[in-house]
Amino acid sequence: MGKLPAGVPTRAFGATVDAVIAVLMGVYRLTKRQVPELMRDLFGLQMSVGAVIGCQQAASAAVADAVAEARRYVKLQPVKHADETGWREGISRSRAWLWTVVTQQVVVFMIHARRNADAAKDLLGGWTGVLVTDRHGAYNWWPDCRRQFCWAHIKRDIQAIVERGGDSARIGGAMLVEVERMFTLWHRVRDGTLKRATFQVYMRTVKQRFEALLAEGVAASHSKTSKTCVQLLKHADALWTFVYFDGVEPTNNCAEQVVRHGVIMRKISYGTHSEAGSRFVERMLTVHATLRRQRRNILEFMRAACTAALQRHPAPSLLPTEAPVIPLRRAA
Predicted local confidence at residue 321, as pLDDT: 85
Q: Does residue 94 sit within a domain? A: no
Structural domain count, the chain: 1
Predicted local confidence at residue 75, as pLDDT: 97
Predicted local confidence at residue 329, as pLDDT: 63
CA distance 100 to 258: 8
Per-residue burial over 291-310, b if 16 or more Cβ lie within 10 Å, else e, is: bebbeeebeebbbbbbbbbb
CA distance 177 to 315: 52
Q: Does residue 212 sit within a domain? A: yes
Q: Does residue 155 sit within a domain? A: yes
Predicted local confidence at residue 316, as pLDDT: 97
Q: Does residue 227 sit within a domain? A: yes
Predicted local confidence at residue 93, as pLDDT: 82
Predicted local confidence at residue 257, as pLDDT: 95
Q: Does residue 204 sit within a domain? A: yes
Q: Report CA dihedral (246, 106, 251, 198) to the nearest 10 degrees.
A: 10
Predicted local confidence at residue 13, as pLDDT: 86
**What is the reported pTM?**
0.91
Predicted local confidence at residue 91, as pLDDT: 86
pLDDT in tens, 52-97: 999 999 999 999 999 999 999 999 999 999 999 999 998 888 999 9
Q: Does residue 186 sit within a domain? A: yes
Q: Does residue 177 sit within a domain? A: yes
Beta bridge pairs of residue 13: none
Range of the domain at 225: 151-244
Per-residue burial over 114-139, b if 16 or more Cβ lie within 10 Å, else e, is: ebeeebbeebbeeebbbbbbbbeebb
Q: Does residue 182 sit within a domain? A: yes
Predicted local confidence at residue 272, as pLDDT: 93
Residues of the chain with pLDDT under 50: none
Q: How far is CA 204 from CA 145, 201, 208, 215, in A?
A: 16, 6, 6, 17
Predicted local confidence at residue 276, as pLDDT: 94
